[in-house]
Structure 1
Amino acid sequence: MKTSLSWLREYVELPADLTAERLDLALTNLGMEVESIVDQAATIKGDLVVGRVLTIEELTGFKKPIRFCTVDVGRAVPQEIVCGARNFAEGDLVVVILPGGELPGGFTIGARKTYGRNSHGMICSARELGVSDEHEGIIVLPAGAATPGVDARPVVGLDDVLVEVEITPDRGYEMSVRGIARELATHFGVAYQDPARVVFSTRTEEPPYPVTVEDTVGCDRFSARVVRGIDPAAKSPEWMQRRLIAAGIRAISLPVDITNYLMLEFGQPMHVFDLQRLRGGLTVRRAHPGEKLTTLDGVARVLDAEDMVICDEAGPISLAAVMGGETSEWQQGTVDVLLEAAHWDPVMVGRTARRHKLFSEAAKRWERGVDPQLTLAALEKAVAILTEHAGGTVDERVLDIDHVAPRTAITLPADLPSRIIGLPYSADRIAELLTSVGCTVAGSDVVPPSWRPDLQAPIDLVEEVARLGGYNDIPSVLPPAGASKGLTPAQRRHRSVGRALAENGYVEVLSYPFVAPGAADQLGLPADDPRRSAVRLTNPLSEEEPLLRTNLLGPLLGTLKRNLGRGHRDLALFETGSVFLPHLTATAPPVLGVDRRPTADEWAQANAIVPAQPWHLAAVLAGDIAPAGWWGPGQAASWADAIEAARIALSAAGVPASLVSVRAAEHAPWHPGRCAAILVGDDVVGYAGELHPAVVAALDLPKRTSAMEIDLDALPDAPVVDAPKISTFPPALIDVALVLDRTVPAGEVQATLAEGAGQLLETVALFDVYESEQLGEGKRSLAYKLTFRAPDRTLTSEETIAARDAAVALTASRFGATLRGA
């Protein structure tokens, strides 16, 4: 919201010595974010003076008419100035900037020779001074407006201070001079004059023009006045143009400028129709699906059933509260006008503006809330200004279709502000503060004013008490910390897993949960894969990614690709986060009101459509997991590293190693021959391995890129772990090399060895895999290191060999394993 200090002073008696710093502080304490406070006089540097044209000499021989003038600027010697404008004569008063001065935009004025003559300064136009868009000629002041040589800034309106503030969405009343002036009057405790307090004509039985409102929810008040026979050539007065331009609004024509001016002053958007271009009576209704309207910006728009429109017999002529249509707009030559001021539903306006991407100044105010009691006062003032400057005959009939519901009282407990804010407020002080902003206070009942739709509950009134009482008076006291139960098991699991992967060289990333519709195809998911069923957002951040992810790998692989494109080659990334799995059989939720708590059945039905959101962990690897150097060759990341990442995560989550197993599987997007299912007990909790070559090609990733993804929420809670007993006796180490079929998983062999060895086995680890024609076709050798130890004694060689033989015997019986070299 942009306005000027002089405009505010018309309605609030601000201190005469008010500085920019005090004004900034006052607006900030009132809850407004100050964008800028600009002294217009400082926008032009140097001498800007009034001058009187003494002589004019027409210069010929140039492509355009040029004048050589002598101007009395109050100095001993008249200034010689070359000027191209022709709208002034000898004896006229003009505005002159002298050499050394600087105009807005950094344009420095100097003395120079041009068109064969010396020019000392410049005679200025309104646009060059920044006071209006007029640039067809220079400013000619009225005779007797000032004497030559005096400062021209006050004469042309450059002695004002411009204020720009950012208004929060809940305080629409502040998007007007009326609202800001009222706030400043409350802050400084000075007199305030409401600009809308005018004597206006009330509704007459017969309207000046037939209007029907079909939807009184979308439009609960519609008022209109008619003026006939205005002068279509009448221009807006200079004071109005200056204020509009200062507010960032271009001056267009007198009727349109009046509506914009009152929108800034009252906060009431209005619209002006050409009465001769209307066809029959007006109807205010919801748009019919598929209806079209060409708005004032020249765009043909397809309307939605939620949009409100104003129609005549030919169809929609205005997108209500947002922008008018081309077919009924005021145009040059219009002599009969219908001025409309209405009150529209803020929710409807906000949705319409976003749907059509039309964020007009009117729509910005409507969606924040406008005073429904302003319509007739705004029309009265608009008619008065219009007839004063353009003549015409006012139709005495007044249209006012009013369905505005009266404001209801809010019950405010006397002790609530003190309890919430932490400062003592007496009942009288609370009543004083709330009355100062227009509330009617009767005991504990408070009726908010019509211009404060944001005041709807007791807590809103408490906020007003804190704001008006002074935020700076509220002490900075930390709230008492209640007893805490600490982290939940799920929180501890998430932190432990992330810490463990980071300690093993993985870098955590955070991806957006939004994916494109083609993400499932890139991952090669089968047509019947449930991960293809994704939740589609109604209002996505990007239309290219409207779906919520059903797995972490899609966005994580995108992050991997982005890092590869920026020169990184060896990458190990991981991410933890929610995936969104919709309930495909869920029905539509019940419509819940706000007048009561939902029942248990309603709550269950409402939650039935909320997708399941399990917490997943995913990791991806590309390039070398161990770098090459002078110490030797590096080690390329492989499917085995992805499986190991899953084991690390499960171990950090507190899952006992005895419950974790790995078996071969086929699951997109992994390579069918290099994919492993990760099991905890009998339940599959995830998959790991090398990505399918087709997926790697589709995403333009390096060959052999590997990945894993597990469902952390599917893991059991970590058991209470007893402190291990450390044996002081020496271990016995034995290696065994077993020859088995190549299809036998090494993990199952390791588990069988542990089972067969019994209680004396401390650890078992695979340390070598060997394949050779000498072993036989389809065979391979798996070598394991077995560590035996007893807690109470040193093991004998006979005990160790017996345990080793028992372990080998069990693998022989299950998998047909034989000792290599036996």
Structure 2
Amino acid sequence: MQFPESWLRTFANPGLSTDELSHRLTMAGLEVEETAAAAPPFTGIVVAHIVEIAPHPDADKLRVCQVDDGSGSLLQIVCGAPNAAAGLKVPLARIGARLPGDMKISKAKMRGVESFGMLCSARELGISQDHGGLLELAADAQVGLSIREALDLDDTLFTIKLTPNRADCLSILGVAREVAALTGVPLIMPAFDAVPVELEDRLAVDVQAPDLCGRFAGRVVRGVNARAATPAWMKSRLERAGQRSISALVDISNYVMLELGRPTHVFDLQRVDGGLTVRWARSGETLELLNGQTVTLEPDVGIVAAGGMPESLAGIMGGEASAVTLDTTDIYLEAAFWWPEAIMGRSKRFKFSSEASHRFERGVDFDSIPQHLERMTRLIIDICGGQAGPIDDQIVNLPPRAPVDMRLARCHRILGVPVEQSEVERIFTSLNLPFTLQDGVFTVTPPSYRFDIFIEEDLIEEVARVYGFERIPDLPPLARAEMRVAPETLRGPHALRRIMAGLDYQEVVNFSFVEEAWETDYAGNSDPIRLLNPIASQLAVMRSGLIGGLVANIVHNANRKQSRVRVFELGRVFARDASVGDTDLTVAGVDQPQRLAGAAWGPAVDEQWGTPTRHVDFYDVKMDVEVLLGEQAGGLVCVAATHPALHPGRSARLVLDGRDIGWLGELHPRLAQKAELTHAPVVFEVDVQAISAARLPQPTEVSRQPIVVRDLAVWVDVKVSYQDLLGTLSQTIASNATLSVIKDIKLFDVWRDKAAGDVSEKSMAFHFWLQDPEVTLDDARVEQCMSLLLQALVSAHGVRLRA
């Protein structure tokens, strides 16, 4: 928020320099991001009066002016400004003056006519970008007075960076309250005297949505002159606060917003059909806004309607249909309290922001609405004239002001400083926080303009701010350090990240909120968790999987000519689960497990002369998953299954020791085509909790006996998988002590005899490694083991030995 220091000092004027005031505000939590001069340095420029004007004898666009600069004699100035006219008071740069940019003014001759100075525009003085003509000064400006003094150009512009909780400081009055509390100077409030009521006219208002509007007040004013000029003092303050002057009525509304933090709206009474209705929009309704944008409304957007048609977005922006113009004579002034929850995120949905929504979504004072309306009415009548009707004030549903307790002992413990009880009383009094005190406990009732005080720590923060952070000694905390042994079987997130990085994957961190289409495409989720206040319209739902974000990362890199991409992410996903309760670490109805996902795209290895180039496939990534699992990989089983994001014939559900832990597969061709990828990446996603508990390695004695290797090849039905055979062999070995010498099994060949024309069978060949830790195996014992294994396969799967 930007404002001139001079405006602030009309409310609270401490005996501090600009730098001291800036430092005091910053240390109290209102960070002064920047201070800048209202005008650049220049000298020798005074108020001058154009007495006479005549055409230049040799130039059509130049005129010769006789100017009174207060020195007692007229100066001859040659000027080409289109608005130069006799009787105007304008800035004059005398001979010897220095303009911004260190431009020095000297005597000049222009087309044969001498000029003893220069008449200046606002841009030449560096106070605005207006270069359409001379800067016209007030008629009562004192001739010969320095222009810096006449226009108060030795002012400083403050730019304050406010935290979102301090909505009460989004006004000059709000910042002045802080200055008064910090320095002890009195707070000078503007006049809120009631304007004489000269009309009985009223406009009917029906508030149908108490969860949208808690209080609505307004009044009719007739006979205003919308073409009246905005006073120079008001225009100057608006411009120095970053606002462009538009018209008197609009300027007054903006002025009250900046001065008091009260966004208001001015309706053209002649363009409002009947009374006003405050309600939620109906789906499909449209509204043309003051910025020229036409928006389509949804039922969660509040509006003010007239004659059944939307006239303005509640708390955000007015509509074009009822906007005031320079021909407006009768107006309706509106000031309301809109619930912050009803305004949050709505303007971002329409891809714009407004000063009003910025304030209302943070909370605006609901108690001072009538006084602020009186202030605005007085300004309108003083500037534009007119007669005012009575104020209609409807109190519908106001926020409760729940008292908050603060224990003095708790305050001392948090701050580490024994702030005296009398000092705390002074601080709360200076901040206008009403309190009662009993047994060392302050009970504070937050005022109507403070929407940031809910818990005990909020009050402790107020004490710390005003007491002064610089007064709190910077002593290091003392704590007993207790070293704890990390469990050997627990693999935390950092360990998992190290493993993935060692596998040549690059970690990414994506948003937890994603496009709704991603949830449908990559997770098959038709009911995702929606955000109440999305940071962007396309990022409207919470993710229930990580694959979509990784595919987007691959697309981003592919579009930038990267041919090989390996990325992974470890993060939370969000799904509806009615069994989840509301605790310190959980949200009711929302399951938030951690997942680890990876994606590989491009060549299996970097291009090199020793290895033929081939694209990464299912088994490459399956090996990466097995390395990630470590000792647990022996219990991993890939079960063929379908997933919305994966290729129907190249995807598997990952099962670890009988428990589903995730998915592995090639991206669905439809999604790869949609992402405009030349070939599909291979992706996986696993549950972090399921893979975090590693198995503790069990040391065994190394056998001195030789290993015997035997092969077994069998014919089996094509529908029988290797996993089925391996499961049968493992179960047989576990149930028969004779087979305990079988140490390992590997499939090394799969063959189909297509020449025979019979493809109903396939040949599968296995290596078996046998070893006894005590004695050397003889042929008879080996053949007995192989016979038992073959019998088990014949019984379970009907295999036959391949000759």
TM-score (normalizing by structure 2): 0.81
1:461 corresponding residue in structure 2: 459
| 1:235 CA displacement | 1.9
Matched, 1:263 2:260: no
When residues 676 and 235 of structure 1 are mapped into structure 2, their CA distance, relative to the original with a 3 A threshold, is: closer
One-letter code aligned to 2:524:
R
Counterpart of 1:58 (choices 25, 46, 55) is 55
| Structure 1 residues 299-378: aligned runs within 5 Å | 299=293, 317-350=311-344, 353-354=347-348, 359-378=353-372
Report deviation, 1:725.
1.8
Matched-pair contact (CA < 8 Å) for 1:70–1:79 = yes
Give the stretch that moved more between structures: 447-456 or 401-410: 401-410
Residues 101-153 of structure 1: per-residue CA shift (max 9 Å, x gap): 455xx7967778866767676422345546578766423556884564x6421
- CA gap of 1:784–1:571, structure 2 versus 1, over 3 A, is farther
Where in structure 2 are the equivalents of 1:591-610 lying within 5 Å? 610=589
Structure 2 residue 755 is matched with structure 1 residue 758: no
* More divergent stretch after superposition (448-457 vs 386-395): 386-395
Structure 1 residue matching 2:29: 3-state secondary structure: coil
Matches within 5 A, 1:248-287: 248-274=242-268, 282-283=275-276, 285-287=278-280
Q: Which residue in 1 is equivalent to 2:232? A: 238
Partner SS, residue 625 of structure 1:
coil
Does the alignment pair 1:413 with 2:407? yes
Cα distance in 2 between the residues matched to 1:602 and 1:632: 54
Of 86, 91, 110, 1:89 maps to: 86
What do residues 768-787 of structure 1 show as CA deviations (whole Å, max 9, x unaligned)? Answer: 66778899976777665554
Provide the rounded CA distance (Å) in 2 between the counterparts of 1:687 and 1:273. 59
> How far, CA to CA, are the matches of 1:400 and 1:662 in structure 2?
69
The answer as to 2:166 corresponding to 1:171 is yes
- Tell me, yes or no, if the aligned pair for 2:99 and 2:124 is still in contact at 8 Å: no
1:378 deviates by 3.0
- Secondary structure class of the residue paired with 1:37: strand
Q: How far apart in 2 are the matches of 1:740 and 1:483?
A: 63
- Structure 1 residue aligned with 2:431, among 437, 443, 449? 437
Paired AA for residue 181 in structure 1? A
Note the C-alpha offset of 1:612: 4.7
1:259 maps to amino acid: S
Given candidates 556, 559, 565, the residue that maps to 1:565 is 559
How far 1:681 moved relative to its partner? 4.4
Distance 2:723 2:265 in 1: 78
Equivalent residue number for residue 424 of structure 1: 418
**Alpha carbons of 1:369 and 1:630: their partners in 2 closer, same or farther (altered >3 Å)?**
closer
Residue 188 (str. 1) matches residue 183 (str. 2): yes
Q: Are 1:455 and 1:461, in contact at CA under 8 Å, matched by a contact in 2?
A: yes
Q: Identity over aligned residues, as a percent? A: 29
Report the Cα distance in structure 2 between the residues aligned to 1:270 and 1:48, rounded to whole angstroms: 39
- Per mean C-alpha deviation after superposition, the further-off stretch among 481-490 and 137-146 is 481-490
Q: Distance in 1 between matches of 2:311 and 2:607?
A: 73
Partner of 2:6: 6
Q: Taking structure 1 as reference, are residues 795 and 131 closer, same or farther at Cα in structure 2, changes over 3 Å only?
A: same
Change (3 A) 1:486 1:143: same
Q: Count residues with an aligned counterpart.
A: 782
Q: Which of 524, 530, 551 is the aligned partner of 1:531?
A: 524
How far the C-alpha of 1:432 sits from its partner, in A, is: 0.9
> Are 1:736 and 2:711 matched, yes or no?
yes
* Residues 696, 703 of structure 1: 8 Å contact kept: yes
Q: Does 1:640 align with 2:619?
A: yes
Unmatched runs of 5 consecutive residues or more in structure 2: none
Q: In 2, distance between residues paired with 1:238 and 1:438? A: 34
Work out the CA distance in 1 between the residues paired with 2:615 and 2:391.
84
In 1, the alpha carbon distance for the partners of 2:781 and 2:424 equals 86
Distance 1:811 1:730 in 2: 27
1:625 aligned to which of 593, 604, 607: 604
CA deviation map 1:56-97 (0-9, x unaligned): 4413676x6321446677999967543223433389663337
Instruction: For 1:308 and 1:342, locate their aligned partners in 2 and report how far apart those are by CA, in whole Å.
Output: 13
Task: Indicate the residue corresponding to 1:596 in structure 2.
Answer: none
Task: Using the TM superposition, give the Cα deviation of residue 301 of structure 1 relative to its aligned residue in structure 2, in angstroms.
Answer: 5.1
User: In the superposition, relative to structure 1, how do residues 433 and 544 fare at CA in structure 2: closer, same or farther (>3 Å)?
Assistant: closer
Q: Which residue in 1 is equivalent to 2:656?
A: 680
**In structure 1, C-alpha distance between the alignment counterparts of 2:793 and 2:373, rounded to whole Å:** 99
Q: CA RMSD in A?
A: 4.7
Q: Offset at 1:706? A: 3.8
Contact 1:195 1:266 in 2 (8 A): no
Instruction: Classify 1:735/1:552 alpha carbon distance in 2 versus 1 (closer, same or farther; 3 Å).
Output: farther
Unaligned runs of 5+ in 1: 524-529, 587-599
Query: Contact conserved, 1:409 with 1:446, CA < 8 A, in 2?
Result: yes
Q: What's the secondary structure of 2:188's corresponding residue?
A: coil
| 8 Å CA contact retained: 1:679, 1:685 | yes
What is the rounded CA distance, in whole Å, between the counterparts of 1:408 and 1:752 in structure 2? 68
Deviation for aligned residue 1:453: 3.7
Q: CA deviation at 1:35?
A: 3.1
Aligned counterparts of 1:392 and 1:705: Cα–Cα separation in 2: 72
Distance 1:109 1:707 in 2: 70
Distance in 2 between the 1:139 and 1:693 partners? 67
What's the counterpart of residue 591 of structure 1? none
Deviates more, 1:749-758 or 1:181-190: 749-758
> Is 1:492 matched up with 2:491?
yes
Q: Call closer, same or farther: CA 1:154–1:649 in 2, change over 3 Å.
A: same
Shift of 1:435: 0.5
Cα–Cα, structure 1 residues 517 and 351, in superposed 2: closer, same or farther, change >3 Å? closer
Q: Is the 8 A contact 2:348 2:535 kept in 1?
A: no
Write out per-residue CA displacement over residues 158-185 of structure 1, whole angstroms, 9 at most, x where no aligned residue: 1211112133332222122212112112
5 Å-filtered alignment, 1:547-562, equals 548-562=542-556
Q: Which residue of 1 aligns with 2:135?
A: 139
* In 2: Cα distance, 1:107 partner to 1:797 partner: 105
What is the correspondence of 1:91-130 to structure 2 with a 5 Å cutoff? 94-96=91-93, 101-103=98-100, 122-126=118-122, 128-129=124-125
Amino acid at match of 1:289: R
- For 2:84 and 2:43, how far apart are their aligned partners in 1? 25
- Alpha-carbon spacing, 1:581–1:603, altered in 2? closer, same or farther (3 Å): closer
Distance 2:214 2:35 in 1: 37
Scaled by the length of structure 1, what TM-score is found?
Answer: 0.79
Give secondary structure in 2 for the equivalent of 1:35.
strand
Aligned to 1:592: none
| Cα distance in structure 2, aligned partners of 1:277 and 1:615 | 56
Q: Residues 203, 410 of structure 1: CA spacing in aligned structure 2 closer, same or farther, 3 A cutoff?
A: farther
1:355 CA displacement: 5.5
The question of whether the paired residues in 2 share the 8 Å contact of 1:676 and 1:689 is answered with: yes
Alignment partner, residue 31 of structure 1? 29
* 8 Å contact kept, 1:638–1:704: no
**For the Cα contact (< 8 Å) 1:663–1:745, is it kept in 2?**
no
Residue 655 (1) aligns with residue 650 (2): no
1:727 is matched with: 702
Name the CA distance, whole Å, in 2 between partners of 1:338 and 1:690. Answer: 64
How far apart, in 1, do the equivalents of 2:618 and 2:211 lie?
A: 62
User: What is the correspondence of 1:377-416 to structure 2 with a 5 Å cutoff?
Assistant: 377-392=371-386, 397=390, 399-401=392-394, 407=401, 409-416=403-410
One-letter amino acid of the structure 1 residue matched with residue 636 of structure 2: V
Matched residue type, 1:641: D
Query: CA separation of 1:143/1:522 partners in 2, compared to 1, >3 Å: closer, same or farther?
Result: closer
Deviates more, 1:541-550 or 1:157-166: 541-550
Task: Give the aligned partner of residue 152 of structure 2.
Answer: 157
Q: Residues of 2 paired with 1:279 and 1:169: CA distance?
A: 38
Deviation at 1:308, TM superposition (A): 5.4
User: Following TM superposition, by how much is the alpha carbon of 1:436 offset from its aligned partner in structure 2, in angstroms?
Assistant: 0.5
Distance 1:764 1:297, change over 3 A: closer
How big is the shift at 1:408? 5.6
> Any idea what the Cα deviations from partners look like across 1:394-424, whole Å, max 9, x if unmatched?
66x5544456688564443332322333321
* Closer, same or farther: CA 128–289 of 1 in aligned 2, 3 Å: farther
